[in-house]
Amino acid sequence: MNSADLGRRVGVPSTALFTDQYELTMVQAALKAGTADRRSVFEAFTRRLPEGRRYGVVAGTGRVLDAVENFHFDDEMLAFLRDQDIVDASTVDWLADYRFSGDIWGYPEGEVYFPGSPLLRVEGSFAECVLLETVILSILNHDSAIAAAASRMSAAAGGRRLIEMGARRTHELSAVASARAAYIGGFHTTSDLAAGFRYNIPTVGTSAHAFTLLHDSERDAFQAQVDSLGRGTSLLVDTYDVTEAVRTAVEIAGPELGAVRIDSGDLLLVAHRVRQQLDELGATETKIVVTSDLDEYAIASLAAAPVDAYGVGTQLVTGSGHPTCSMVYKLVARARSADPADPLLPVVKKSLGAKSSKGGRKWAARRLDEYGVAEAEVIGTGDVPAELADRQLLVELVKGGEVVAREPLEAARERHSAARAGLPMSAMQLSRGEPVLPTEYV
C-alpha cells in the first residue's frame, strides 16, 4: 500500500483506556516477573465465519493504525489508574512512557478473509503488544462485520447504487465507522455528514416525511423543496397517496426531476407502478430510490424491479444479523528474552472443543486455479513455497512504531471489488453455505 493522506485528519483522543483492565494487570505481573520484554508475536484471526457467510471482509485497518498511534497515557489517565489502584506505581511509571515501537503486518484493508486467516500480526515486546488487544479487536470486529454485510448487499444490488443511512440506528461514533466500512464494502454514498467530513465519503440527503407534513399540502412541500434544491432533487412520494404524489412531483419539477423515493408498501409492486407512471408523464430519466428496512435478501428480491438505488440503515449498521466477526487476538510465538537473536518459539493454547488454534508466526497466501480464480487460503510458518511467493497477502503496516501504509479509503474500496471478483461465483450466493475457500495449513 502506498502512503497517502486520508483527507481531513480529525483529532483522535487517546485510545489507551479503550481496553480491558486485565491487559494492564498482565503487564504489571509480567514486569514483576521479568518477562514483559520478551519478544512476542500476536495474531488477530477468526476461527469461523458467521453462520452462512461465504467470505469475510477486512475493514477497520486504517482506524487501527490511528488507534495505535494514539495509544498513550496522559496525566489524567495515569492518575485514574493510580487512584483506583488498578495497577501499582511502578507500572504507572512504565505506562507513562508507553509508545508502541514494534511492527505490524496485516491483510490490506478491503481484502477478503477466511477462517484462520492471520488478519493482523503484531510483533514487539509482550507488554507493548498485549496492551493493544482490546482496541484492535473492537475496531476489526465491528468494521469487518459491517463491511461484510455491505459487500453482500452490494453483490445483491448488481451494480445499482447503495446509500448508507444507518446513523440513527446505532451509536453516533459507530455510525461514522459504519459508513466508512460500508463504503469499503461497496456502498456509494452516506447520509452521515461526520463520515463525509472525516473520510471524504460522498454524502446525500433531501427530506423526510416531516417536511411534507410541515406544509399545508404535499404540493406546497414539493414546491418548497424544488425551489430550494432544484429540479434534480429527490422527492419523497409515499406520505399520502403515491400516484397523486408522483403526478404532483412531475408537474412541479418537470421531466428533469432527479428521483422519487419510496419508503413503504409493497416495494416491488409500487416501483413498477411508479416507473410506468413516470414514463407516461415524460419523466423517463427520473430515478426511483427505495428504502424501508432493507437487507441483502430484500435487495435481491427487488432485482426485477425498476429500482435505481437502495437506501439501507438498520440491517447494515448491525451487520445484517451478525454484528461481530468473533475475531480473537492470540499470542502465537515468543522468545525467551528481548534479544533479536533469540529464536521465536511457537506457543498455542491447548483446548478441547472449538477454541483450538495454530501456533507460530504465520504467512498467508491465496492459491489460484488455472483460470485465475481463488481456490484456497494457504497458511503456514517458516519458508513460503516458491509457487506462492507472489501470492502473499500480508503487507507491512507499522515498522518500528511508525505507520508506513496509510492510503485513501478509495484504495480499500477498489481492493475489495477486485478481491471479491477473484472469488468463485458461489461466493455471491446469499443462501447459507460454507466458506467459499478452504483453509489449508502447510
**How does pLDDT run across 239-261, given as a tens digit for each residue?**
999 999 999 999 999 999 999 99
CATH 3.20.20.70 segments of the chain = 206-307
Considering the chain, tell me which residue range(s) the CATH 3.20.140.10 domain(s) occupy. Answer: 21-146+322-441
Whether the Cβ atoms of residue 182 and residue 60 lie closer than 8 Å to each other: no
pLDDT at 352: 67
Q: What percent of the chain has pLDDT over 70?
A: 96
Cell 428504502, located at residue: 291
Please tell me the predicted confidence (pLDDT) of residue 5. 42
Average the pLDDT over 326-349 and give the result: 96
> Over 90: is that where the pLDDT of 354 sits?
no
Average pLDDT over residues 23-47: 98
| Sign, Cα dihedral of 300, 306, 308, 314 | negative
Mean pLDDT for the chain?
Answer: 95
| Residue 9 pLDDT | 56
C-alpha cell at 270: 409500487
Is residue 420 predicted with pLDDT exceeding 60?
Answer: yes
Q: Does residue 189 contact residue 150 with C-beta atoms inside 8 Å?
A: no
Q: What count of Cα atoms within 13 Å lies in the side-chain half-sphere of residue 262?
A: 26
Q: Please give the pLDDT value at position 4.
A: 41
For position 28, what pLDDT does the model report? Answer: 98
Q: What percent of the chain has pLDDT over 90?
A: 94
How big is the chain by its Cα radius of gyration, in Å?
Answer: 25
Q: Is 418 helix (H, G, I), strand (E, B) or coil?
A: helix
Distance CA 407, CA 259 (A): 34
Q: Which CATH architecture has domain 206-307?
A: Alpha-Beta Barrel (3.20)
In 139-202, which ranges are E strands? 161-164, 189-190
Q: Are 326 and 44 in contact (CB under 8 A)?
A: no
Amino acid sitting at position 366: R
CATH no. of 21-146+322-441: 3.20.140.10
- The predicted model gives 322-342 an average pLDDT of 96
Q: What is the pLDDT of residue 364?
A: 98
Rounded average pLDDT over 193-199: 96
Whether 1 shows a pLDDT value over 70: the answer reads: no
Left, alpha or beta for 164 (phi > 0: left; psi -120 to 50: alpha)? beta
For the full predicted model, state whether its pTM sits above 0.85. Answer: yes
| pLDDT score, position 357 | 79
Q: How far apart, in whole angstroms, are the C-alpha atoms of residue 326 and residue 363?
A: 21
| Range in 5-14, 154-163, 352-361 the model is least confident about | 5-14
Q: pLDDT tens across 90-132, in order?
A: 999 999 999 999 999 999 999 999 999 999 999 999 999 999 9
